[in-house]
Amino acid sequence: ELKVEQNPLFLSMQEGKNYTIYCNYSTTSDRLYWYRQDPGKSLESLFVLLSNGAVKQEGRLMASLDTKARLSTLHITAAVHDLSATYFCAVDKAAGNKLTFGGGTRVLVKP
């Protein structure tokens, strides 16, 4: 059974500082996703990581994938208040298959 674990579950950030969210998964996977969810809203796709060593960046967010370690990281550079949200990673075993989500990391960026 595929298990996906995120840590930390909650992250209180100071504006301007850097932070990392970790996502571990238990079995070989074809692809890894990062999503953002604002309160009361659905998921917004951030990144799709397809291969070992993949790195993607968008603004202050950068995601990377190490398939050998079964680990993905989401790095936040110089946090700003607008980044406050819950971040989820999700893994699927094969393209088109169902996703298994991590427990989510609730991020609160304080001035």
Partner 1 sequence: GAVVSQHPSRVICKSGTSVKIECRSLDFQATTMFWYRQFPKQSLMLMATSNEGSKATYEQGVEKDKFLINHASLTLSTLTVTSAHPEDSSFYICSALRANLGNEQFFGPGTRLTVL
Judged by the rule CB under 8 A, the positions of this chain that interact with partner 1 are 35, 40-43, 45, 48, 88, 95-96, 98-104, 106
Q: Which two tokens stand for residue 66?
A: 């190490």
Residue 42: CB minimum distance to partner 1, A = 4
Least separation, in Å, of the C-beta of 102 and partner 1? 7
Nearer to partner 1, 43 or 71 (CB): 43
Q: Compare residues 36 and 80 and give the one whose CB is closer to partner 1.
A: 36
* Count of residues in the chain: 111
Q: Are 101 and 88 in contact (CB under 8 A)?
A: yes
Minimum separation from the CB atom of position 11 to partner 1 (A): 14
> Considering only CA atoms, which of 7, 2, 15 is closest in space to residue 84?
15
Q: Which residue has the tokens 């609730």?
A: 106
